[in-house]
Amino acid sequence: MTLPQGRDFRPPWPLKSGHIQTMLSSSGVRRTLLPRHAYTVLEGAEPVMVDGGAGVRLTGAYTAQKTQPVSRGLAVLFHGWEGSVDSTYVLQTGSRLLADGWDVFRLNFRDHGDSHALNEALFHSCRVDEVVHAVGDIAKRWPSRPMAIAGFSLGGNFALRVALRAPSLGIPLSYALAVCPIIDPSEGLFSLEETAPWFYQAYFMNKWRRSLRMKQAAFPQRQYFELQELKQNLRGLTEAMVLRHTDFGSLEAYLEGYSVAGRALTAMQIPATILTARDDPVIPIDAFDKLELPSNVELDISPYGGHCGFIRGWDMTSFCDDYIAERFNAIAAGQSPFA
């Protein structure tokens, strides 16, 4: 079986621009132009509450496949920071996997989607324990074999960390795929502040502040932030969150807490793939070049694609759909997911 590789993605001009790829990836324009089959995962989707352990509740949506007599397996999808189970890239990937015979579970992280009122404490990127616990709960409730995870951006970082922990906890995860994951958070934060165009930080900050306002409205008895803290830049507000709402003690310790840089992935026991783009304006490529990986972790760097874009043409469909589906299908067939 010949699997797609990052070098195979050759978009037409002007989609060769990493900035255009990135801006289109979550845009309303893309959502409007996508073909109807990109949304079939919404048909018959079952809203679900899953157990994150220690009283934590997370939401998601489960859609059973209907194209084959027996499911290929269970695909679990993680969105990016301030995305949700209804983010365009999640729906499109989920719909493709559904068409290929996979049951699909789309998981919301804490305080994403419409889940702000479920848990009083704030979301932060080191809350991996509850995501691991939720994946274990999903595996028990829908015991399809195999089970594979795909995550995007911060969701890709979570997918890799879940994959690192799953075997020791008896979670039957067969494969993980991360698209443009955050590798070294300290470099990623610096990139948004110092090297990326201003509008990327503005975009993420607007979404984060909106999310925090929703959280405050859900729990009016708590004061999550002072008004002046909410007016700070990405670094300043992140540091305020760390000092107010975590036990890390410093911004640097918090960022290290969810890093998968350097040798962090050498302990990976299951097959995993990392797909990223050299022209990603949000996640610096240097962190990928410095990774030390075991033979069961594939690093695939495409020259094009931007941040979680990989948009093939003016129908706004993504190269990632084929890339993810064909690797998942290889796992289901008992074959290697590596090209």
The pTM (predicted TM-score) of the whole model is: 0.97
Number of Cβ within 10 Å of residue 145's Cβ equals: 12
Torsion angles phi and psi, residue 330, rounded to 5: -65, -45
Torsion angles phi and psi, residue 70, rounded to 5: -130, 135
Q: What residues are paired with 49 via a beta bridge? A: 59
b/e string for 237-275 if b means 16 or more Cβ within 10 A?
A: bbbbbbeeebebeebeebbbebbbbeebbeebebbbbbb
Q: Which of the 8 DSSP states describes residue 7?
A: G
The Cα–Cα gap between 109 and 129 comes to: 12
Burial class (CB in 10 A: 0-12, 13-18, 19+), 97: buried
Tens-binned pLDDT, residue by residue, of the chain (339 aa): 699 999 999 999 999 999 999 999 988 889 999 999 999 999 999 999 999 999 999 999 999 999 999 999 999 999 999 999 999 999 999 999 999 999 999 999 999 999 999 999 999 999 999 999 999 999 999 997 899 999 999 999 999 999 999 999 999 999 999 999 999 998 877 777 777 788 888 999 999 999 999 999 999 999 999 989 999 999 999 999 999 999 999 999 999 999 999 999 999 999 999 999 999 999 989 999 999 999 999 999 999 999 999 999 999 999 999 999 999 999 999 999 997
